[in-house]
Amino acid sequence: MTYLITIIVFLVIFSFLILVHEIGHFVMAKRAGIKVEEFGLGLPPRIWGKKKGETIYSINWIPFGGFVRMYGEDGSEQKMLRSKRSFVGKPMRARVKVVIAGVVMNFLVAWMLMVVGFTAGMQPLLVPDEILGAINSGELVVEPGLIVKEVEEGSTAYDLGFKKGDTLHSFDGSRLNEFVLEDVIGNSAGNYFVVDVDGTKREIVAREEFSGLTFYDFSFFPRAKIFDLPEEATAYKYGLRAGDIILTVNGEQVFSVKDFEELTRGRGILDYEVYRNGVIENFLVVRSEIQRVIVSDVVPSSPAMESGLASQDIILSINGKEMADAREFVEFVWEHKDETLAFVIQRGENTLFYEIKPDENGRIGVVLSELIGYGADRGMRLYNIGFLSSVTEIKDEKYPFHVSLYKAFGETYKLSKFTVVMFGDFVGNLVRGGGVRESVAGPVGIAQMTHVFVQEGFIPILRFVAILSLSLAVINILPIPALDGGRLLFILIELIIGRRVPQRWESFIHAFGYILILLLILAVTYGDIVRIANS
């Protein structure tokens, strides 16, 4: 029954989006005075039709979208060029409006659906460049490892002892990397090392392929891993070990060695969150020898000299912020150049306090150097890795209606750019012989995604429809023969060269475009079927 509902929802969604697109062409053609011969719901052959005025309104057998048939759309007869009621007989401006009207309608539908979604509360539409920032902000919640989302009660996975929330740590003695992950996702036979939500570790032995186990979405996120750590290092004495994967330092996410260096530079107390042997552990490391900013000279008649700063003063903090290096000092003073700053200074055995206001150039007039204590973590070496983590939650964003209006507009613009890039990568990969990537879905794949969103509820479906409408709009406006963008391209060529492209050439190119699009659809659909068969 669920799959029947999915099929119905899939047909309704696609028909709605295509119908909205065609309504755009229909309305603009009528406004331009073009004779619309037929407006059809569904695709031929026709079930029923009624002529009202000069237009036949029809219902057709194939329940998929709709179409608009305009007089003179293909310009196959010479008399159409002279007719004021034909598409090809209209001025370029009118033809442009008719051509882009369908795309505009799909953009508007996507925007309106996003407005509704953000007003009600909807997950943000994240593109790859935003993922790490979303994790940092807490908008995207990720947890280490491959985490079980559901275990079907009574299934073979349930009988084996898998539980919701289990984290899979290794398979047949190997950590979960790209080479064994396919076997794990496929519920293959083997030895599974599992960690409970409470940190208890256990082994599950599956002697044959099983079923009933599903996982959260996952990816290999960048992280920093400790390569080696000698016993004399401070971090070792406080509990860190080689092989630990550093997740956060002082509550800030660590995605690379560079992040680690920036977060630890000059800090005396470091609160580590690390992943070790299937569980997350916390360590508080107190470092006695750290990097400091030291004044090597003071500029005469500067705010620093007038306030009393002297050479060899060690700057401990400004406005309560601990100073780790000279660059951080300069940036902080510049950002607060209109304020009087509170300095805490170490001079010999004494701690002194100064208030200094930067000059109009955002400077206090000191020459800086860095006092570095090398003994703290000498010998500690790290490297960057791709660390398997599960996306357990994407938090909803909810705004007042007036904020949702421009928030939805920004999301529409962002996703439009991303769709163009993705489509370019898809075509480029096909041309290079790389086949169809798993991230690209055709009708079968979209139907499969529809099934998932139907189960998740109204707002996820609404979000899904918005993305589909936007994708339909963006791809349709690209300068590809047979699509709206291809027709628009010929009108622009006409504008540039001052005459129409011969109709037989335009018709031939559009026909060639139809064949290419059909081949692309077949290629993507084949990829969908192969993925489903192998899943």
Catalytic residues, by residue number, are 22
Residues 359/302, Cβ–Cβ less than 8 Å:
yes
Instruction: Please give the sequence-ordered ranges of beta strands (E in DSSP) within 250-291, or none if there are none.
Output: 252-253, 269-276, 279-286
Structure tokens at 72: 């003179």
Asked if residues 422 and 439 have their Cβ atoms less than 8 Å apart, the reply is yes
What are the Cα distances from residue 114, in Å, to 9, 109, 412, 501? 19, 9, 8, 40
Closest CA to 206 of 152, 162, 147, 175: 162
Residue 249 sits at φ, ψ, to 5 deg, of -130, 120
How distant, in Å, are the alpha carbons of 148, 152, 164, 196 from that of 214?
A: 6, 8, 9, 16
Cβ atoms within 10 Å, residue 459: 16
Helix, strand, coil share (%) of the chain residues, nearest 5:
40, 30, 30
Distance, CA of 234 to CA of 497 (rounded, Å) = 74
CB 57 within 8 A of CB 48: no
Token digits of residue 470: 């936007």
Reported as type and span, the H/E element at residue 428 is helix 401-431
Cα 286 from Cα 288, distance rounded (Å): 6
Q: Exposure of 463 by Cβ count < 10 A (0-12 exposed, 13-18 middle, 19+ buried)? A: buried
45 burial (CB, 10 Å; 0-12 / 13-18 / 19+) is exposed
194: exposed, middle or buried (Cβ count in 10 Å: 0-12, 13-18, 19+): buried
Strand, helix or coil at 178?
Answer: helix
Range list of H helices, 171-270: 178-185, 234-237, 257-264
CA distance 393 to 385: 23
Residues paired with residue 46 on neighbouring β-strands, in sequence order: 60
Q: What angle do CA 398, 400, 406 make, to 5 degrees?
A: 90
Q: Look-up: residue for tokens 């920036």?
A: 262
